[in-house]
Structure 1
């Protein structure tokens, strides 16, 4: 690095001297007067030293000239003007006379020579960066977006030759840009032309470079990209680019969240801040996918204290370090404990005296809980009961349970235990001064153990991608989206409600698998096989968000609804749970499931022959929805 600076300074010494000599040569038509030549020779060392010093002050020797742009050119112009002004002052002070025209010609020469030397280096690097197109294995890249971000991505590819990629075309929906060049790359069409351009230009990879685009537009662009066999990547949205800077490092693979086209959630920040800012907040299961994101969201609202409770220390250690790094002033406490331990939980609530509790700790994996029902009941049901009774005893203001769509007409143990948790919340609310509420939503994209990370891993390994049934559908939302709505629902709570989140349109898992394969640059069942493995015990073809008898009512938020309480007999529930605890002593899974049926009559334990019934029920339900929609349109 130092050697390069010295070489540049030495080059500038030569160029500065050349600028003065050429200016004199041109002024006198090649016959320089001896008196002016004498002045030039007598003062050129001092003149050069002054200019080199000024150039140093303007940091002309610290710039990376392979990335030179208009900013560097402005620095050169300013440095040359200032340097020549100082030289004129010096020459006047020592009464060394040169023709006045020289002082106009020399700055122009300086800018041409100094600037030219720097930008010729960039030009050489540009030529060098174009060499990969002759190299074997070089990827052709299509840029979507002819704005500032797209231009920056093109520059980044040229500056990083090791990426072995070259932009070959751009598409943009602005018709005035079609036919134009951006950094030498042609704008060939709009998003609708993506499949054709990918064929004609032999494109290997598509990069969506429109950080300001809304989710709907991104989803539509990705739908066009799916028609190609190109790997698709994207720049994060503006809200993710905190520093506003675009670089190759920030380009990421397109994920299913982009494909869903879900718009950013609009929150009532005042309402949320009102019950979190300056308050003590406890999050159970704080090291998990939902719990850790809740902690991130809560930390933004400046609680008096954020306590994270979890039994698994590795995950909670990670979120602890992240929060300490991002929120220097956050009063953060980490508690390693199990919600199963009644005495420990009570002592924690007594000591911490939280104002708000978010209960995200739970066993959630359907097949595992189907094989281990006793553990699901201990953790989900009695763990929740321990926490609920402790918060009631010590007058916690608000308790928010994280529930699941699997609690609705459950066919598995996990969903049944979560439905019991909802019953605990709704029934104790009438007996307590604490506001107890539940928030119910479907699958969360990217959460631990969810289908998306599994599919990505299977694709990376070359397949097969495993799907349990070709007709399985699920509701999805992103982790931040779910957690933001949980916080918003907490602000709306009066006690006893089950808040139901708008999950958007359901997604067929088979389509999801095919989309992820295509967006990774492969062809389903050609490059990556898809294998049907059969529904697992307890798994549904489809999920529901609402029990028939719950009804639904609107809230002030367009993505949050309320299901009315349908179970409020706390004393009866406690007696039933005592009976369940007694049955657990026998470690008999069949008896346990029968006991669960008594507690949750809508629970239908999984049977192999129930698949056909699910399929018929699902088809009937879809037909009813279609007919209802058609009648609404007729009205």
Structure 2
């Protein structure tokens, strides 16, 4: 019978609800009068019937207006119960007013008694049905996973409400704020973080959900560090800005963000620096579909440029980015023209034509091959794209009278041990030489390390490896890297680009370096698992070391020398580093071009070592095409 009722149409359910509420209102009035008079025999005349009719019609109308019959009982929330209470109060008021105007024989105390009875008869069955459905659907409290919510503020309370209709049961609140500790919310006590081990043992909790709102990253990092030894999965609720904007819902629980582990608080950006090269201008982003290029586009849009030119080699990346930007522009009501263009930075004429046609004033050059092992296996194409792509784009910018040109460089350009880093340092030298040759276009190079969430980041790789049960692969036990979030990197790049005076190498403060092995261990612990090792053979996830990849360094640096100066921004430094005249640079470029054209990878590497790039490597060349050609030629000689 209940199954038939639950599976009936919405219209049928609403008719049943209206019918029941009409009978409940009638019965409530009868019981209230009986209780008041102390007798079941009560006089009934036309005035009393008129009062009843008025009360039923007005109450049902109020319930309909308040959305009472749109609520689904199985997902009923405290807001729905508030509706029942307010509707019952309104009904009692209508009863009192109606009895006055109809001159019915209803004592003045009856509406107060009626309110109590109506609350029982109108709200009670709804709670009963809700409980029955919860039991039938297997969501009774005893079958739920016990979780602890860290944070007893607004976010924490909203999270508890959202989790009621899920397979989670909040068994405790934990909060650092002493004023909140000891208070009770919905029969759940708020306790101190020091009591977490006892709470976990008592309830068998397997998960801690962070509801920290706008808590700074530094504080988040400390909280997460304290939770690591507890052996529970640590996840987080969406941030308040994401909830307000609609990008996320409170029940969208996710893994802890890596930036929370790093504990790096963002610095308030300078509005003047952000807008200087963008607002009201035509801006071009090369490599727009990449991780950094895409984030640059998103932030540039919010600085109100007149036109944005997206230049990208990958068709799908360009299509996806254009759709996303158009959506942002429509939502925010911006008047910005977005021009998506396919092409390679190695095609100088096309790049120049685009810049002249659309009147480009600012260029952010993010197009590059950045994956170290892949560039080691594709030496000629890596050098062509990173060195000559930068040179050709810069020459096109000069001829098209571009005002500002910003190169996205890398920490791997500092004393490089791989072709990718050497090619990026050579690209820096090209722009420094061009800055000496002319003054129309202002060239700035911005150097920084790894960005979190990029296509080459270790974080998503570790997360996937943990999800499938390991092992987690790290190249070397002592490898260390700097990390920065993509939004922070893009924001600092835009500000740094506004500071350049011509030929500047600006370096972003990446904070403290992170040991990759420690990062892997922390991610395993925060997944509620343990590290498997010789000392802990019963652990869950093993960490294996695969050896450094071709061209990979143990430690990355951001500066070639010690000659560094501060700027007006606390996280941007100016590096005073060696550069060549344009004549010297051009001579190397010509020789490098010949080596690339003849596919002489050994000559390419020798030229990069001879140039003042600081490149040094004793590894064998790994270019797949060159190796095959060389081996084939040697076999022919032997034969």
Please, which moves more after superposition, 236-245 or 524-533? 236-245
Distance 1:142 1:84, change over 3 A: closer
Q: Does 1:570 align with 2:582?
A: yes
Q: CA offset at residue 196 of structure 1? A: 5.0
Q: How does 1:224-303 map to 2 (within 5 A)?
A: 224-243=226-245, 247-303=249-305
Please, which moves more after superposition, 81-90 or 461-470? 81-90
- Which one of 445, 454, 466 corresponds to residue 461 of structure 2? 454
Q: How does 1:89-104 map to 2 (within 5 A)?
A: 96=104, 98-104=106-112
Structure 1: where are the runs of 5+ without partners?
Answer: 609-635
Q: How does 1:387-536 map to 2 (within 5 A)?
A: 387-430=393-436, 431-525=438-532, 526-536=539-549
Q: Segments of 4+ in structure 1 off by > 6 A?
A: 125-130
User: How many residues align structurally?
Assistant: 600
Distance 1:107 1:462, change over 3 A: closer
Q: Does 1:63 align with 2:71?
A: yes
1:429, 1:78 → 2: CA distance? 73
- Which one of 29, 32, 36 corresponds to residue 38 of structure 2? 29
CA deviation digits over 1:294-324, x for unaligned, max 9? Answer: 1111111121111111000111211111111
2:248, 2:452 → 1: CA distance? 25
Residue 637 of structure 2 corresponds to none
Structure 2: where are the runs of 5+ without partners?
Answer: 1-9, 533-538, 621-639
Conserved 8 A contact 1:294-1:483: yes
1:316, 1:394 → 2: CA distance? 24
Q: CA offset at residue 353 of structure 1? A: 1.7
- Which one of 539, 554, 567 corresponds to residue 566 of structure 2? 554
Residue 588 of structure 1 corresponds to 600
Distance 1:125 1:216, change over 3 A: farther
RMSD: 2.6
With normalisation by structure 1, the TM-score equals 0.88
Q: CA offset at residue 415 of structure 1? A: 0.3
Residue 632 of structure 1 corresponds to none
Conserved 8 A contact 2:361-2:403: yes
Distance 1:489 1:240, change over 3 A: farther
Q: CA offset at residue 403 of structure 1? A: 0.3
With normalisation by structure 2, the TM-score equals 0.88
Q: Does 1:355 align with 2:356?
A: no
Conserved 8 A contact 2:145-2:205: yes
Q: CA offset at residue 225 of structure 1? A: 1.9
Corresponding residue SS for 1:20: helix
Q: CA offset at residue 119 of structure 1? A: 4.5
CA deviation digits over 1:578-622, x for unaligned, max 9? Answer: 1110111221221110011122351102438xxxxxxxxxxxxxx
1:563, 1:124 → 2: CA distance? 70
1:439, 1:65 → 2: CA distance? 58
Distance 1:232 1:103, change over 3 A: closer
1:594, 1:170 → 2: CA distance? 63
Conserved 8 A contact 1:130-1:158: no
Corresponding residue SS for 1:315: helix
Q: CA offset at residue 121 of structure 1? A: 4.7
Q: CA offset at residue 249 of structure 1? A: 3.5
Distance 1:381 1:95, change over 3 A: same
2:153, 2:132 → 1: CA distance? 26
